[in-house]
Amino acid sequence: MAVDAIDFTIAQGECFGFLGPNGAGKTSTMRMLSCMSPRDDGVLEVLGLDPSTAPRRLKSRLGVVAQELNLDLELSVRENLVTYARYFEVPRGERDRRASDLLALVGLEDRADDAVDKLSGGMKRRLQIARALVNRPELVLLDEPTTGLDPQARRVVWDRLRELRRAGATLILTTHYMDEAEQLCDRVAIMDAGRVVRDGPPDAMIRAEVGREVLELRVEGPVADDVMALLGPLARGHQRHDDLLVVHADDAEALAALVRESGLAAEFLAARRATLEDVFLSLTGRSLREADPGASREPGPPPSRARS
């Protein structure tokens, strides 16, 4: 089962993020939202329309940035936008104006006549975002929009997405970058095994799940139990992975001082601000998992409403 009875509502003008391990159901959810995959049951509304019964009307109001690069390599940068605009029946004169405006938005106006395969990975991703905006969509779906980009290119894409927000667009994105979700999203939903396990504003989720700070220690064997016996009354929770002990707290330095004073054989690694990544690992675990499409699980409750 790819998506198991999830229930969410996204407000107009919001940036909403889906986070989760590989195989959690993020892309399957995005495909249902964008009319690419049918659902087996439940209720789904996107911009007030059911993707199953009104796909053409809905697609005319959506912008979709797929996980894979799917630009037309035989066309120039500008031709990618102008040709795509024809699919949405944008008038001839308006096509060129929109193409110029969008190339300026993503900083590619000086590459308009270049072949797409001459662009860097970051430029191709920016062009893909521009192409998704050619129909002036009310809702933009972005599936891992910055995967594989270097830090500078990621920041440029973030800036463009913030501009879309300021212009009133609603954004839904999936990402494996926790800092990206913290930077861009008003709310996030953490998915695991096809279900939403937590959702809410990133800052609120961090405070509720792990506290303000994190202490990282390297300990071996039973020493970890001794450390947690010492810190337990002051800790918000903890995780163990091999010899790594991650302790959630509101004052990590105070806990580190207690460990030092105790003389326990624990190596101090870091005392730092808690992040969304700590929440993610706390909820989904640290072990690598690959999706098994043939795996069976106990059936969940009847599918519930999923509205956007």
Domains (ranges, CATH) in the chain?
15-205 (3.40.50.300), 211-273 (3.30.70.790)
Rounded Cα distance between 141 and 55, Å, is 15
Percent of residues in the chain assigned helix, strand, coil, to nearest 5: 40, 20, 40
Residues whose CB is less than 8 angstroms from the CB of residue 272 and which lie 6 or more positions away in sequence, other chains included: 213, 214, 216, 252
Read off the pLDDT of residues 18-58 as tens digits, 9 standing for 90 and up. 999 888 999 999 999 999 999 889 999 999 999 999 999 99
Decide if pLDDT at 295 tops 80.
no
Give the model's pLDDT for residue 135: 94
Give the model's pLDDT for residue 102: 94
Read off the pLDDT of residues 199-219 as tens digits, 9 standing for 90 and up. 999 999 999 988 899 999 999
Measured between its terminal Cα atoms, the distance across the chain in Å is: 22
Give the residue-averaged pLDDT of 76-94.
94
Residues whose CB is less than 8 angstroms from the CB of residue 181 and which lie 6 or more positions away in sequence, other chains included: 17, 19, 175, 188, 202, 276
Residue 197 identity (one-letter amino acid) = V
Residue the block writes with tokens 């010899």: 243
Give the model's pLDDT for residue 304: 35
Cβ 269 vs Cβ 243: under 8 Å: no
Percent of the chain with pLDDT over 90: 66
Read off the pLDDT of residues 144-201 as tens digits, 9 standing for 90 and up. 998 888 888 889 889 989 988 888 899 999 998 999 999 999 999 999 999 999 999 9
**Angle, CA 250 vertex, CA 245 and CA 254 arms, to 5°:** 75
Give the model's pLDDT for residue 232: 86
Nearest CA-CA partner of 227 in 196, 251, 195, 261:
261
Percent of the chain with pLDDT over 70: 93
